[in-house]
Amino acid sequence: MAKNLLEQLREMTVVVADTGDIQAIAKYTPRDATTNPSLITAAAQMPEYQEIVDETLRQAKLDAGSGAADEQILSTAFDRLAVSFGKRILEIVPGRVSTEVDARLSYDTEATVQKARFLISEYEKAGVTREHVLIKIASTWEGIKAAEILEKEEIHCNLTLLFGLHQAIACADAKATLISPFVGRILDWYKAETGKDYAPHEDPGVLSVTHIYNYYKKFGYTTEVMGASFRNIGEITELAGCDLLTISPSLLGELKATEGELPRKLDPDKAASMEIERLTIDKETFDKMHAADPMASQKLDEGITGFTKALVALEKLLSKRLLALDGEATINHAAEDIFQTYDLDGDGFITREEWMGSDAVFDALDANKDGKITADELGAGLGAAFHLAEVG
């Protein structure tokens, strides 16, 4: 019997599930999983996870003590909710789960370090050891320096929102465990700039990750490369052989349903023989290269803004649930509130540019695949965003 593309991909690349939905993770049995606020927001709306949310809020309020401000309770609740989802995910996957530091701390090294230490302490209280957790941090210079400190403490880091070679080299020099270059968002930028449709083999995001992978293998870096944010399975198949790929449930389903030969595209032995110039990246060089790369500069800023917006939306949801637990309110309008948070121009649609959060969530909520989310799609999707039909 012929193997499908997902089976073949797993023979050369570690497959990671880009979702907070525990059922979807159980279905596709990846080795690792990754979450972020927009993923958790979607999952937290689903009835089967209400118990996790309510239990986390009650405990955060109890620990904060009487008179504690809601902001303090919600901050603690968000971190613990991320850990709660992470712990349950680790009951399914054998490897690691990535848990994100508050994106609002992306330019503050010390605050990022402190938040990462808190997250790890929460995991350890829950009986999860450090080797099963990756702390996800934005690839700003300050975030990379935080990762350098944390890695020395054996707190392993996943550097995300990575769009340029300068970021990748700085992460490797900091001995980060893993980086997550965003393939689809790079493609989005170039398509918007040029108006051109790119074949998978010439996709700018694919070419960027290929260059980073070859650079790492050429110079013997141990930092792993995990391609992320895919728009189609063509981008994924062009990166077959990459260390890891984090893939949304919809694209995992498409790979599983597709048969055909999957050749290896990225190979460490081939990279070792390539002629590649080695670069030294200090802060001055990093800043110069970043300023000279409008795609990387814009997409990093957009990504931090998007993840921050997702966190604000989650905080609104948790605030309403906290009031509901106290008998002071209901949460019937949570979906409407979240829609208004993202619909920046008030035209009744959320575009991918307005969303700026997790691509996996956007793709799941965009039911008719027209590149925008309506209020109805958001309301329906938050209750069933990742309930995919059985494939194969």
Task: Give the residue numbers marked as catalytic.
Answer: 136
Is residue 140 exposed (0-12), middle (13-18) or buried (19+ Cβ within 10 Å)? buried
Cα separation, 107 vs 142, whole angstroms: 5
For residues 219-244, one letter each, b for 16 or more C-beta atoms within 10 angstroms of the residue's C-beta and e for the rest, the string is eebebbbbbbbbbebebbbbbbbbbb
Half-sphere exposure of 153 (CA within 13 A, CB side): 15
Cα separation, 156 vs 120, whole angstroms: 10
φ, ψ dihedrals at 50, nearest 5°: -60, -35
Q: What is the CB neighbour count within 10 angstroms for residue 111?
A: 16
Element (H, E) at 221: none
Residue 60's identity, in one-letter code, is A
φ, ψ dihedrals at 351, nearest 5°: -85, 170
The H-assigned helical ranges of the chain are 5-10, 22-28, 37-44, 50-64, 70-90, 109-125, 141-152, 165-173, 183-194, 204-218, 233-238, 249-256, 268-272, 283-291, 294-325, 334-342, 352-355, 359-365, 375-384
CA angle 28, 136, 49 (to 5 degrees): 50
Three-state SS for 100?
strand
Cα separation, 294 vs 272, whole angstroms: 30
Cα separation, 379 vs 32, whole angstroms: 29
